[in-house]
C-alpha cells in the first residue's frame, strides 16, 4: 500500500523543478545547478535520505541564517599538497565540489593531496565526492563529521553523543568498468533514512534505534520526538570506533568544530578530510589497475557458481539508478507535500504537479 502511494517523477523534470525552487530560495545559478544535480543524483542512486527531501531542511536553514548563500570557498595551501578550505557554512554540495576540484588538481600535480574542508553546511551524499575523484582516475578516502543535534549513542550507551559521521572511499577501475565506491554512515541507519521510513509509514529494521528510555524500537518517529531516541552504531564497537575516527580526523585534526556537547544552533555543519592519491605516484597506474581488476574478478568469480550474485560497493546504486532512469524517481506523499510547502513559501505554486 505504501509503494502504491509513491509518485514516480521524471528525472529531468525533477531536476529542473529543483533548480527553479533553489533559485527562488535565493541561490545563484551555480549553487542551484550543483545542489539540484546532487540531490537528484542521490535519489537516482537510491539514497532518498540525501535527495530532494532535504530541500525543506535547506529552506528552514536559509531562513534561520544557518545556511549561507553565495559564499566563496577560502583556500589556504601555500603551494603544498595540504589544502585547508573553509566554507563559512556555504552550501555543502557547492563547497565540497570546489574543494574536490582543487584537491584533484593538486593530486594530479604532486601525486597526493590532503584536503581539509571545514565549516560547510550539509555536504550531501559522501560517495558523490569519491565518485568525483574516481572519475579523474584517482583513489580517495573521505572522513566526515557532523556538528548538529547528537543522534547516535556510543557503544554500550543509551543517550546520543555523536552524529552519523560517514566514511567513503573511491577506487577507479580499468577497461571501462565502473569504480568501486564505498559509502556508509557509521550508524546503523542515517537519520535521513529514518526520516524516509517515517514519511512512508514503515518500520526500520531491528537493531537500528532505541527510544528515549533506552529501549530497542523499530518506530522511526522516536527520533523526532522530545526527548528524542538514539540511533545505534553499525557493527557495535567497530562502528562506534569508526565514528570517533571520523570526528577526530575530519574535525579535530583540521581545527574544525567538533561535537563535544549540545550544538550552539540548529545548523548541520560538516567538515570533511579527504586523502586523494594518484596511483601513478605510488605503485604505478598500470600495476594498480591490473591489481584492482584481479581482485574484482576473484571476488565476483562466485557469480558463475550456482547463480550467486556478488556485488561490489557501488553496484547496488548503479542497479537502482538504471531502474529509476527508466521508471522515474519515487517520492512518498509526505516528502512531496513538504517540498511543495517549501516551494509555496518561496512563491511557487504546484511545483511538482502534472
Interval 35-79: pLDDT, tens:
999 999 999 999 999 999 999 999 999 999 999 999 999 999 888
Give the distance, in angstroms, between the CA of residue 353 and the centroid of all CA atoms in the same chain: 28
User: pLDDT (tens digit, 9 = 90+) per residue, 119-166?
Assistant: 999 999 999 999 999 999 999 999 999 999 999 999 999 999 999 999
Whether the pLDDT of residue 263 is over 90: the answer is no
Provide the pLDDT confidence category of residue 302 given band limits of 50, 70 and 90: confident
Cis peptide before 227 (omega within 30 of 0): yes
CATH 3.30.1370.60 residue ranges of the chain are 73-187+233-313
Cα angle: 67, vertex 29, 14; to 5 degrees: 85
CATH 1.10.1530.10 residue ranges of the chain are 1-64+314-354
Q: How far apart are CA 166 and CA 99, in angstroms?
A: 18
Average of per-residue pLDDT values in the chain: 94
> Mutual orientation of helices 92-110 and 127-135 as an angle, nearest 10°?
40
> What pLDDT score was predicted for residue 303?
79
CATH number of the domain located at residue range(s) 73-187+233-313 in this protein: 3.30.1370.60
Whether the pLDDT of residue 312 is over 80: the answer is yes
Q: How far apart are CA 90 and CA 86, in angstroms?
A: 9
Whether the pLDDT of residue 2 is over 60: the answer is no
Q: Domain 1-64+314-354 is in which class?
A: mainly alpha
Amino acid at each position: 500500500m505504501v509503494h502504491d502511494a509513491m509518485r514516480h517523477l521524471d528525472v529531468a523534470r525533477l531536476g529542473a523543478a529543483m533548480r527553479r525552487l533553489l533559485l527562488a530560495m535565493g541561490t545563484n545559478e551555480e549553487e542551484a545547478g550543483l545542489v539540484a544535480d546532487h540531490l537528484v543524483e542521490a535519489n537516482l542512486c537510491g539514497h532518498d535520505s540525501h535527495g530532494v527531501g532535504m530541500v525543506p531542511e535547506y529552506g528552514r536553514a536559509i531562513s534561520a541564517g544557518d545556511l549561507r548563500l553565495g559564499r566563496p570557498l577560502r583556500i589556504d595551501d601555500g603551494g603544498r599538497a595540504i589544502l585547508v578550505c573553509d566554507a563559512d557554512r556555504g552550501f555543502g554540495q557547492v563547497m565540497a565540489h570546489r574543494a574536490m576540484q582543487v584537491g584533484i588538481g593538486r593530486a594530479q600535480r604532486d601525486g597526493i593531496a590532503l584536503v581539509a574542508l571545514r565549516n560547510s553546511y550539509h555536504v550531501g551524499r559522501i560517495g558523490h565526492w569519491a565518485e568525483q575523484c574516481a572519475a579523474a582516475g584517482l583513489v580517495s578516502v573521505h572522513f566526515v563529521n557532523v556538528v548538529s543535534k547528537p543522534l547516535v549513542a556510543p557503544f554500550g550507551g543509551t543517550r546520543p553523543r555523536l552524529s552519523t559521521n560517514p566514511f567513503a572511499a573511491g577506487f577507479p577501475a580499468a577497461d571501462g568498468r565502473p569504480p568501486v565506491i564505498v559509502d556508509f554512515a557509521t550508524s546503523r541507519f542515517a537519520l535521513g533514512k529514518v526520516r524516509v521510513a517515517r514519511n512512508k509509514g514503515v518500520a526500520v529494521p531491528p537493531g537500528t534505534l532505541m527510544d528515549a528510555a533506552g529501549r530497542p524500537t523499530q518506530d522511526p518517529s522516536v527520533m523526532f520526538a522530545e526527548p528524542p531516541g538514539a540511533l545505534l552504531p553499525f557493527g557495535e564497537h567497530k562502528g562506534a570506533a569508526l565514528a570517533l575516527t571520523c570526528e577526530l580526523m575530519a574535525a579535530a585534526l583540521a581545527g574544525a568544530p567538533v561535537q563535544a556537547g549540545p550544538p550552539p544552533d540548529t545548523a548541520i555543519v560538516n567538515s570533511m578530510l579527504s586523502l586523494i592519491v594518484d596511483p601513478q605516484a605510488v605503485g604505478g597506474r598500470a600495476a594498480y589497475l591490473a591489481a584492482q581488476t584481479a581482485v574484482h574478478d576473484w571476488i565476483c568469480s562466485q557469480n558463475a557458481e550456482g547463480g550467486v550474485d556478488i556485488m561490489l560497493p557501488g553496484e547496488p546504486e548503479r542497479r537502482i539508478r538504471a531502474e529509476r532512469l527508466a521508471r522515474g524517481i519515487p517520492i512518498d506523499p509526505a516528502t512531496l507535500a513538504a517540498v511543495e510547502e517549501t516551494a509555496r513559501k518561496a512563491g511557487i505554486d504546484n511545483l511538482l504537479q502534472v
